[in-house]
Chain A
Amino acid sequence: MLNASLKQLSALLAQKKLSSVELTQFHLDRVARFNPELNAFLTVDAERSLAQARAADALIAAGKAQPLTGIPLAHKDIFCAKGWRTTCGSKMLANFVSPYDAHVVEQLNAAGAVILGKTNMDEFAMGSSSETGFWGPVKNPWDPARVAGGSSGGSAAAVAARMAPAAIGTDTGGSIRQPAALTGISGLKPTYGVVSRYGMIAYASSLDQGGPMAKSAEDLALMLNVMAGFDARDSTSLERPAEDYTRALEVSATDSDKPLAGLRIGVPKEYFGDGLAVDVAVAVEAALAQFEKLGAKRVAISLPNSGLSVPAYYVIAPAEASSNLSRFDGVRYGYRAPEYGDLADMYRKTRAQGFGAEVKRRILIGTYVLSHGYYDAYYLKAQKIRRLIARDFTQAYKQCDLIMGPTSPSVAFGLDSMLSDPVQMYLLDIYTTAANLAGLPAMSIPCGFGEGGLPVGLQLVGDYFAEGKMLRAAHQYQLATDWHLRQPAGTE
């Protein structure tokens, strides 16, 4: 059961060989077993989960099951879920019980999925290691002395250790893809606007996008079917016809030898330069060779401005964060300092005590780049560079259908090894931030192992709305390989 796909679990549920209550209890037991070490879950509420599971079993018995009905899913603690404590990894929201559901949560609930628990993360999704949160670091199931990546590190570790069949996360600069890569799972950040941001606690609104995290591309497709969709409460939600992403996975039987014949894979030279660890380069090269075996053609491309994506990202994201996080003032919800003088003092003490170091750092950067006299030099400049980065992709997609390269420059690094040097940590986002800046869909799939037997992720970046194309390529790769089914030792 540990390596069963969502489709297989769904079939077992439909055939009554397994109930949702049994499946949910099985995973709750695994959380109880592995979470004390891994710290992937922040909140587990067995009664609430099992009540949902019973309701799902009733739906199945009544013949009203949908593909995710009865499947327990781990939710990153950034998604508001009614009645669930939703902390976003922060002391600021340590006691926040959400009075409403995020759109994604509504959709998953309506599909009959079960909330298995809320997962650990970097505070307000600001980080690349899931170490900046108030509740302590997430540990990597492949090696508990290493990070699980971030910011959706809890969701990634939950799937990697098979505590959850699948999970949901968010990606502002790589926060789904990088932890997926570092823990050997699959994760997808959709095109900006495909998944509603309503009820997803905001970090950088022009970049934030929710998405699925699971063992395989097939599972991701099933989840994206439920998560995607127009929502009027998100002003940037896109109105477009619903897609069945699972239909995109298959190729016709006549192509069985070369299922990806005709697919042009762009390989940007900038993604293989200095800073890329040799073990990662080797695994990614082997994956590209496998894609060629499946019939794809490799095309050398250039994304000349990719080196600027980290500098531009670390202006735009903090600028938007400084504005978004101004709502945490101790008045309407969340933490309030126990002692203060006047109103301004209440704000200042509440925010000084409620936010952690990385969040404060980004608020300060954002406040500065938006302040009088600096806006043009920083924020406007970054927005112009954002345009150049997006244009690089437009040019590239004239020559290729998908872009592939490494997700992260190295395998999982040691806990505490980067925390004191924010710039080094930021530079880890070198391959992931560009897709957010341009608004493009991107994913990471496991493609081998590097130093220390740690997983390596292959990144796929598609043109706007090319989720189906990416998922098909990834699925065909996963039919021919078994990296996505490897499981950390000790989690059997």
Chain B
Amino acid sequence: MSLSMPEVKRIAWLARIEISDAEAAAAQGQLNDIFKLIEQMQSVDTEGVEPMAHGQDVVQRLREDRVTEIDQHALYQSIAPQVENGLYLVPKVIE
């Protein structure tokens, strides 16, 4: 497997990271080296092996459906880049 330049740019777009042509070219070589390492996995027969998602086989805990959080929006918004009237401001999304 080898990633092409358009693929590197598409991945960066999916990841919402702006990438210049020069950065994409540098990333391409390094990513392909890394995928060469990762490809070692393909030599192993894993037929019938159950995938392991976690270090412990834990079951999702459930709790009663009641409010446990207190209102701290003023505190949390005090560190936001841009807020107004208790709302986070972002560029206009809907025309």
Contacts and interface: CB of A to CB of B under 8 A. Distances in A.
Interface of A: 95-97, 99, 191-193, 206-207, 232, 235-236, 238, 305, 307-308, 310-312, 314-315, 322, 326, 329-336, 340-349, 351-352, 355, 360-361, 363-365, 367-369, 371, 377-378, 380-388, 390, 422-423, 426-427, 436-440, 464
Contacts of A95: 79
B79 A343 contact: no
Interface string B64-82: 0000000010011011111
B22 interface: no
Given A193-B58, A329-B16, 9 more contacts: A322-B15, A347-B16, A364-B8, A364-B17, A365-B31, A367-B11, A368-B3, A381-B42, A384-B50
B57 to A, nearest CB: 9
Contact of B38 (A238, A315, A326, A436): A315
Q: Nearest 8 pairs between A and B by C-beta?
A: A439-B55, A192-B55, A383-B51, A384-B46, A336-B81, A352-B18, A348-B18, A387-B52
Contacts, number: 169
Nearest to A362: B34
Q: How large is the interface on B (under 10, 10 to 19, 20 to 34, 35 or more residues)?
A: 35 or more
Interface of B: 3, 8, 11-19, 27, 30-31, 33-42, 44, 46, 49-56, 58, 60-61, 63, 72, 75-76, 78-82, 88, 90-93
A438 B55 contact: yes
B54 A336 contact: no
Contacts of A308: 40-41, 44
Given A340-B91, A364-B17, A331 B80 contact: yes
A382 to B, nearest CB: 6
A360 B17 contact: yes
Contacts of B51: 380, 383-384, 386-387
**Most chain A beta carbons < 10 A, residue from B38, B50, B53, B61:** B38
B8 to A, nearest CB: 7
A123 to B, nearest CB: 14
Given A364-B8, A364-B11, A235 B17 contact: no
Given A331-B90, A349-B18, A388 B44 contact: yes
B38 A346 contact: no
A346 B61 contact: no
Contacts of B37: 310-311, 314, 423, 426-427
B70 to A, nearest CB: 11
B45 to A, nearest CB: 10
Contact of A238 (B15, B41, B58, B76): B58
Contacts of B54: 192, 206, 236, 439
A333 B80 contact: yes
Contact of B56 (A238, A315, A380): A238
